[in-house]
């Protein structure tokens, strides 16, 4: 029996997400992130997509029984320290994931409520949105919505200012995730501030906006980086350590964005450079 309280020197992290053939988002971006940050990555596929840096042309959800089989086979063998959840198509899939994670409870669960691609293409239908809100958010330790995703979760308007972001926090916290990282990249201006809500308060995580169009998969990458950093912490870690792990993930993503021009992938919104510190 594996000791779930132990933190291995190389933690094991699982992504439960859709596939992106272009490699910049979805589980491909997640696995790159895990590897870049010194974690061993595993994956369960929830959807096959036809997409590139220029947009999404098709989304093909994996049936819930197939997802259940993937989860059962993996989790019966590999101890998982942290999980990142991405694209979830419907309630049956959400409940399948939740049931598996309750049986094999990892120390950390990070939810990126993927509902709209960077190109604006919808990825999840209304039933999937409701399932994310009601089933997966309460199961998670950290959720990482961007502003359009937060608006969808709360059935409201997309905030246009930092004050409007702060006004969203009570509603987001009421969904029962202990930590909420509300990403402010959709705001106008020279800064790109994120707002982090914790069990004891909230704090701004500022960053300068980078002049780049290489934004494909930034949400997937950030949530995966948070999962990889949290995987090195024991269960019940102090709030200060959790906040620091989230800050480290944000700083790492900023560096990956700054180096993204070195890749030159595709003809649309390119990916971040996950291996900027290696290549």
Top pLDDT among 114 and 32 is at 32
Q: Which residue has the higher pLDDT, 151 or 128?
A: 151
Domain residues for the domain of 22 are 12-261
* Domain-located, residue 1: no
Quick one: pLDDT band at residue 48, thresholds 50, 70, 90? very high
- Domain assignment present for residue 250? The answer is yes
Total domains in the chain come to 1
Give domain status of residue 272, yes or no: no
Dihedral, CA atoms, 164, 165, 169, 171, nearest 10 degrees?
A: 60
The answer as to whether 112 is a domain residue is: yes
Q: What pLDDT does 2 receive?
A: 46
Flag whether pLDDT at 3 surpasses 90. no
Q: Is the pLDDT of residue 129 over 90?
A: no
Task: Judge whether 7 lies within some domain.
Answer: no
Question: What is the predicted pLDDT for the residue at 153?
Answer: 92
- Asked whether the predicted pLDDT for residue 189 surpasses 80, the reply is no
- Mean pLDDT to the nearest integer, 131-154: 94
CATH code for the domain of 138 = 3.40.1190.20
User: Given this model, what pLDDT does residue 191 score?
Assistant: 82
pTM for the model:
0.94
> Residue 235 — pLDDT band, cuts 50, 70, 90?
confident
For tokens 């916290």, name the residue: 173
Give the pLDDT score at 11: 97
Q: Does any domain span residue 273?
A: no
| Average pLDDT over every residue of 256-269 | 96
């Amino acid at each position: 029996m594996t000791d779930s309280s132990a933190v291995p020197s190389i933690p094991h992290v699982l992504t439960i997400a859709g596939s992106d053939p272009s490699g910049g988002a979805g589980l491909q971006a997640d696995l790159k992130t895990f590897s870049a940050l010194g974690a061993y990555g595993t994956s369960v596929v929830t959807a096959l997509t036809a997409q590139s840096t220029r947009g999404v042309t098709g989304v093909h959800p994996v049936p819930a029984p197939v997802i259940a089989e993937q989860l059962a086979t993996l989790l019966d063998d590999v101890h998982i320290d942290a999980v990142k959840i991405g694209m979830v198509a419907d309630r049956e899939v959400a409940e399948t994931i939740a049931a598996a994670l309750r049986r094999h409870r990892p120390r950390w669960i990070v939810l990126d409520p993927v509902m709209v691609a960077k190109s604006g293409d919808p990825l999840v239908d209304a039933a999937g949105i409701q399932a994310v809100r009601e089933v997966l958010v309460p199961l998670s330790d950290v959720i990482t919505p961007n502003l359009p995703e937060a608006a969808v979760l709360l059935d409201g308007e997309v905030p246009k200012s930092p004050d409007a972001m702060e006004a969203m926090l009570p509603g987001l916290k009421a969904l029962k995730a202990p930590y909420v990282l509300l990403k402010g990249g959709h705001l106008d201006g020279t800064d790109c501030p994120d707002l982090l809500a914790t069990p004891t308060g909230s704090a701004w995580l500022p960053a300068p906006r980078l002049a780049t169009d290489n934004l494909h998969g930034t949400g997937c990458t950030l949530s995966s980086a948070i999962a990889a950093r949290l995987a090195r912490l024991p269960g019940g870690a102090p709030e200060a350590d959790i906040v620091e792990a989230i800050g480290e993930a944000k700083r790492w993503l900023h560096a990956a964005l700054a180096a993204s021009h070195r890749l030159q992938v595709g003809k649309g919104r390119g990916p971040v450079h996950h291996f900027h510190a290696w290549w």
